[in-house]
Amino acid sequence: MATTLQDLNISGLKFYEPPGAPTAPKIADGTSTSELQSNFLKLLTVQLQNQDPMNPVESAEMTSQLAQLNMVDGINTMNKTMSSLVDLMRGADFVNYSNTVGRSALVAGNELLFDGQNPIAFALQFAQPMPKARLQITDSS
């Protein structure tokens, strides 16, 4: 089964090759947007060269197809840009989190859980200064 137009071996079908193009064979699967655009423009050129002058090709259809290819290329470019922005934002988050290394956080609450073995740290905040405050734990509850 033919995978490219060159493999079809249609007599009289000419392909556009720009001057100075590399002669080394390029491995391509034909699915990238630039390759699709290039193939489309090659087909368009051949079609325009070989069209019947009495029954010309509809230019609106060709323009629509080219616009769709350009739109897909724009979406792919936007996806790459968004991915790089997300990566930058993640990197910025790590830099912001690095400021918290070695620091402690206080959380408001009315319970304290102690397993009887591991020490715990806590803080108290009073509405007014308490010069002589004392904490007494009376039982497990």
Residue 39 buriedness (CB in 10 A; 0-12 / 13-18 / 19+): middle
125-135 pLDDT, tens digit per residue, is 788 888 888 87
Ramachandran region, residue 102 (left: φ > 0; alpha: ψ -120 to 50; beta: rest): left
Which of 29, 40, 30, 43 is closest to 68 using CA atoms? 40
User: What secondary structure letter does DSSP report for 127?
Assistant: S
pTM for this one?
Answer: 0.37
pLDDT band at 81 (very low <50, low <70, confident <90, very high): very high
Confidence of residue 79 (pLDDT cuts 50, 70, 90): very high
* Diameter of the chain measured on Cα atoms: 106
pLDDT at residue 6 tops 90:
no
Domain boundaries along the sequence of the chain? 5-98
Residue 49 exposure: Cα atoms within 13 Å on the Cβ side: 11
DSSP states along 9-58: --TT------TT---S-----S-SHHHHHHHHHHHHHHHHHT--TTS---
